[in-house]
Structure 1
Amino acid sequence: MATLKIEIPGRVTIIHDCLIQENDFKKAMKPEKPTYFGGNPTYCLNQMSLDDFKNKVKTFTGTDYWMS
């Protein structure tokens, strides 16, 4: 399971369990490359809500990685 945090305004930090998850997130968010904050990848929300962000990754990967 992955955890999302908003530690920087307008950016979401993903704390993931394994390298496979990180690679899936990178593919789903192309062409944006992650910026690392505290060792974890962060992505710009680009006016998206957290739910929109989750749905974008879920649609691309077919997997629901998020902790409830």
Structure 2
Amino acid sequence: MSAAQVLLAAGAVLALAVAVFAGWRDARRRRRAEVDAVGWIDWTTVQMAALIALAVLGLLAAKG
């Protein structure tokens, strides 16, 4: 594995971590007790962007 592949794989792992974190935060947002207490981050969009980054980085790392 080249250094570039390792760097791309590390980026993919980081994107996976962000996607999991965003999914957890979105689930908490949906179950909030106070409906009017909305946040300022759209966690669904963050999760989708992280999943797209994961797919791109993962494919580039696997392609070599």
The TM-score, its normalising length taken from structure 1, stands at 0.26
Higher relative CO (CA 8 A, sep ≥ 6), structure 1 or 2? 2
Larger radius of gyration: 2
Greater fraction strand:
1
Greater fraction helix:
2
